[in-house]
Every structure is written in structure tokens, then in C-alpha cells.
Amino acid sequence: MSGRDEPPSGEHGPRGDAAQVLRGHNPGLVQPGGRPALPADSAGQPWAGRALKSNPFAGDDGTIESSMAAALARTDDGERVRAVVEAMRAGRVLVPVVAHEHPGTDAEGRVATHDSDKFRTGDRAADAMASAAMVSVRTPDGRAALPVFSSIEALLRWDATARPVPVEATRAALSAVGKTDSLLVLDPGSEVTVLVPRPAVWALAQQRPWTPSWADPELPGLVVAALRGIPELVGVRLERGGRAELRIVLAVHAGLTPEQLREPVARAGQALADATEVRERVDSMELYPVAAEAAP
């Protein structure tokens, strides 16, 4: 005898325990306090209480949903946006995943730090960060938007190398709020492209209905309240915009010269920008001053 305590036959110190752990159970292990240890993953997190959810898009063949097809078929631009947002409330979209180059390593050999602002530029080669999962694009006015697609056909028309990932449109809206200027653009590169405005993206992310600013029955009162105190203004009217989502027609005293108009119009613009409720309901606006007698 060597005088040492020998492990029981067939078990050689830690090896026996390791074999049991690898099989997912070791009745001999205990947690602090004497409680039996539960089977766990490689990170030590217990498997107990976990549930694997089925993939809601397992049978998705990438074709356009009927509600979205009907929405995109609308001929009126404003009504088309409204119908698209309504279809998104309970529908799915395809988010493109585009490969990117590795960002390299730093002086200590670690993966280089990503520049979070690069995601907003839409420059896929400049940075790798979230571009591994999705990309952004630029709207005509320079804002960053998350591109989403109604079908695999539309996505591949935009980028044949992109991999489509089906997600609930409400989850895509959440990503747009966090990663872009709170904008979605549906089917960029297709004959019909729809820019989903910021208030609509917020509504989708919060899973609540959305009303366009030009159809919002409460907005005229909010605009009038915001513009109160500007003596040159004698009236206001809201209508669908041409270059912007909403046109605000400002009726001003007759006889004012362009130079005399400049200051009150600037004050009106600043007052509307400072009005939180107006800003939350309107994505973009244009001010259109007219002489009072010319205003219908």
C-alpha cells in the first residue's frame, strides 16, 4: 500500500466527474448550500425552464403577403403609405443580411473596435459592426433608413448577394428606431418604393395604430396652439405636402413684402419645431405663406 487514498475502481479522480458532466448529469455534484446541481450548458446556465419556440416563418417561401400586395397596388401615394403601415402591423418583411469584410485587429491582437456611426452611412465596406446582420440606406434628404422587402424577388432585385431574413415588421421597426433615423424603406430598387415615415415607425415599434399627419384630426389644434402669438399670422390650414409629408399654409396679413415675411415665417418654423406633440406626429413639413385674402 502506498499510504494514499485511492479512488474507487473505475473512477480516477476528476475524470469520473467530467464524464458524468459531459453526459449532461452528475448526481454527485452539488451547488453551494448543498442543493443538487442541475444539468447546464457550457456556460453553466441550467437547461431547466428553457423552451424552444417554433419558427413562425418555417413555411415562408418568400412571396409577397396578400395584404402587402394590396397595399402596394394603391395608386394614391399617401393612401399607399397608410395601407403599407397597416399591413406591417401584423405582417412580416424580409431584412437583408449582407456580408462584410473583417474589421481587422488592434495593436494587442483583439478585434478592432467598430464605429457605430458607420452603420448610418450605409457604407457596407467601411465598417463591419451591425452590417453583419443588416444594412442601412440613405434617403434623398440624407437620413438613414433600414431597408426591408416585401418579397424575395424584390430583395434580390436590390442585391443579389443579400440573404433574406424574415421578421415581424414590428421588430424591424424596433431595429430602425435603434439603428437608423427611425425610418424604414420598403422595396428600394423596385418600381414601387415606400418610405415609412418616422411617426409611423414609432407606432409600429409600439404596436399601435398610426394616422398620417395630414389626416390627424387633432393636429390642426396643436399647430394653432404652437403658432399663437405671432401677430403677422391670421390663419392656418393643413394639407398633404408636395415636397414634404405635410404642408402648413400660413395666412398672413396682406401687403407684407418678402423681407417682412421672412422673420414671422422663421418664427413659425421654430415654434413648430419646439412643439413636442407636433414634432412627434409629423415626419416632415413645408411652410407655405399666402396673403390673407388669397387663402380659401
pLDDT of residue 218: 97
Query: How high does pLDDT run on average in the chain?
Result: 82
Q: Which three cell numbers stand for residue 247?
A: 404642408
> What percentage of the chain reaches a pLDDT higher than 70?
69
Of the two residues 58 and 52, the one the predictor is more confident about is 58
Q: What is the pLDDT of residues 255-272, one digit of tens each?
A: 899 899 999 999 999 999
Among the candidates 147, 172, 205, a domain finishes at 205
pLDDT of residue 54: 62
Q: Say whether both 286 and 232 belong to one domain.
A: yes
Q: Say whether both 71 and 186 belong to one domain.
A: yes
CATH of residue 243's domain is 3.30.70.1350
Please state the pTM of the whole predicted model. Answer: 0.71
Q: Say whether both 159 and 225 belong to one domain.
A: no
pLDDT of residue 250: 96
Q: What backbone torsions phi and psi does residue 242 show, to the nearest 5 degrees?
A: -100, -60
Q: Is residue 1 assigned to a domain?
A: no
Among the candidates 205, 227, 255, a domain finishes at 205
Q: Say whether both 78 and 197 belong to one domain.
A: yes
> What percentage of the chain reaches a pLDDT higher than 90?
60
Q: Say whether both 154 and 220 belong to one domain.
A: no
Q: Is residue 184 assigned to a domain?
A: yes
Q: Say whether both 231 and 161 belong to one domain.
A: no
Q: Is residue 54 assigned to a domain?
A: no
Q: What is the pLDDT of residues 69-79, one digit of tens each?
A: 999 999 999 99
Range of the domain at 121: 66-105+114-205
pLDDT of residue 162: 92
Which pLDDT band holds residue 59 (cuts at 50, 70, 90)? confident
Q: Say whether both 265 and 282 belong to one domain.
A: yes
Q: Is residue 35 assigned to a domain?
A: no
pLDDT of residue 119: 45
Q: Is residue 11 assigned to a domain?
A: no
pLDDT of residue 5: 47
Q: Say whether both 81 and 199 belong to one domain.
A: yes
C-beta separation of 214 from 246 below 8 A: yes
DSSP 148-214: EBSSHHHHHHH-TTPEEEEEEHHHHHHHHHHHSSS-EEESTTSSS-EEE-HHHHHHHHTT-----GG
Q: Say whether both 220 and 194 belong to one domain.
A: no
Q: In the predicted model, is pLDDT for residue 30 greater than 90?
A: no
pLDDT of residue 189: 94
Q: Which three cell numbers stand for residue 226?
A: 404652437
Q: Is residue 176 assigned to a domain?
A: yes
Q: In the predicted model, is pLDDT for residue 102 greater than 80?
A: no
Of the candidate ranges 125-129, 199-203, 237-241, the one whose mean pLDDT is the lowest: 125-129
Which pLDDT band holds residue 48 (cuts at 50, 70, 90)? low
What average pLDDT does this structure show over 130-138?
A: 68
3-state SS class at 18: helix
pLDDT of residue 98: 84
Give the total number of structural domains in the chain.
2
Among the candidates 205, 230, 254, a domain finishes at 205
Q: Say whether both 272 and 289 belong to one domain.
A: yes
C-beta separation of 246 from 285 below 8 A: yes
Q: Say whether both 175 and 233 belong to one domain.
A: no
Q: Which three cell numbers stand for residue 233?
A: 399670422
Q: What is the pLDDT of residues 219-235, one digit of tens each?
A: 999 999 999 999 999 99
Q: Is residue 171 assigned to a domain?
A: yes
Residue 20's alpha-carbon distances to 52, 135, 184, 235, in angstroms, are: 25, 45, 51, 81
Q: Say whether both 183 and 97 belong to one domain.
A: yes
